[in-house]
Amino acid sequence: MLKKIAVVALPGMPPFEFGVVCEVFGIDRTEMGGPAFDFHVVTAEPGPVPMSHGLQLVVPTGLGEAADADLIAIPAYYWTGFDPRILDLIRDAAARGAWVLSVCSGAFYLAESGVLDGRRATTHWMHAEKMAARYPLIDVDPDVLFVEEGNIVTGAGTAAGIDAALHIVRKELGAGAANVIARRMVVPPQRDGGQSQYIAQPMPECQSDSFAEVIDWMLENLHEELTIDQLSRKAIMSTRTFARRFRAETGTTPAAWLNRQRIIRAQHLLEVSDSSLEQIAQQTGFGSSAVMRHHFVKVLKVNPLTYRRTFGGRPVVDIASVDAVESRERIPQPA
């Protein structure tokens, strides 16, 4: 069970990547139906820790507090040397099966510790070539937001640390818990590609009110067989114009957008309801459980029954309104 979290404060770390871990794991969200973690900030030398931008963080807690943590998080790091005590902490955590998470260039600390040898990993695309050259035993993938290899998760640049952290929450506590955290952060709980991690780009927000109204209507009618002709009439546009404008607004086609939203809705129903797979397929517009299974395996790399066995029966809040947040909100591309 994911309960105790320790993020390691590193000299020179940027505040955003450090703050991502604090934001996801360091806030008690039980009043909204979300989780509360036993959260700790630790450092190799307790006291003032210099950060980037001339900032300083005072950390009174040493690495000993992290010895039994369920997750060790390493934020971005600017290679001012590797502390052997932190390298040992990472090795010990990986060996005992705890989660180890890196954000952006924090992956270099994991690489230096040796826990990524023989594994696939990612980091910020600007540093991917350097990482691959310095650590030839690691399969560095610069094209994904994050990579999960066993109990080790490496996140790409900057905001992709949110995706990586929420992925761990989703794996351990279910999509509902990740949704609660994401809703408070005003970010999508799962960007396009889901657990498959092969994500080309986030789902952009709609810039026009007219398309926002159409998207709201689409979300309310996911169970229906929505055609491009029907949607274009709703938007009072020609079919060709609607298709072109929809892609410009959302970054994807109406069919792909609907498919992703149906998967998100089906995930929720698999978690909180006792409905059969056929019933859920009908309620989400897939039509049949066979079609729903096809899309689950293609996007999430897991079938609906396995997903239910993993995440079903967990208490979550009503996410009816979260669907709209998922479809419209965006976080910046890794930078």
pTM of the complete model: 0.61
Decide which of 173, 207, 242 is a domain's last residue: 173
Q: Please check whether residues 19 and 150 belong to one and the same domain.
A: yes
Helices (H), 76-186: 84-95, 107-113, 128-134, 160-173, 175-185
Say yes or no: 212 and 254 in one domain.
Answer: yes
Kindly give the pairing relationship between strand 4-8 and strand 38-42: parallel
Question: Cα(266)–Cα(170) distance, rounded to whole angstroms?
Answer: 15
Block means of pLDDT (10 residues each) for the chain, length 335 residues?
A: 96 95 96 95 97 95 98 88 96 98 96 97 90 96 89 90 94 91 82 36 51 84 90 90 86 87 89 92 94 88 81 50 35 32
Query: According to the model, what pLDDT value does residue 68 have?
Result: 98
Both 10 and 59 in one domain: the answer is yes
Residues 228 and 93 grouped into a single domain: no
Number of domains into which the chain is organized: 2
Answer whether residue 244 is part of any domain.
Answer: yes
In a domain, 189, yes or no: no
16 and 67 part of one domain? yes
Residues 6+ apart with CB under 8 A from 313: 271
Q: Residue 183: inside a domain, yes or no?
A: no
User: Quick one: pLDDT at residue 303?
Assistant: 87
Alpha-carbon separation of residue 309 from 145, 163, 312, 335 (angstroms): 26, 23, 6, 37
**CATH classification at residue 253:** 1.10.10.60
Task: For tokens 């000299």, name the residue.
Answer: 11
Q: What is the pLDDT of residue 283?
A: 94
- Is residue 158 domain-shared with residue 300, that is, in the same domain? no
Shared domain check, 259 and 110 = no
Residues 111, 49 within the same domain: yes
Q: Quote the domain boundaries for residue 32.
A: 4-173
| 169 lies in some domain | yes
Q: What is the pLDDT of residue 193?
A: 37
Residue type, 292: M
Is residue 310 included in any domain, yes or no?
yes
Per the listing, tokens 């973690």 go with 37
Supply the CATH number for residue 24's domain. 3.40.50.880
Domain stop point among 142, 173, 204 = 173
Beta bridge partners of 50: 56
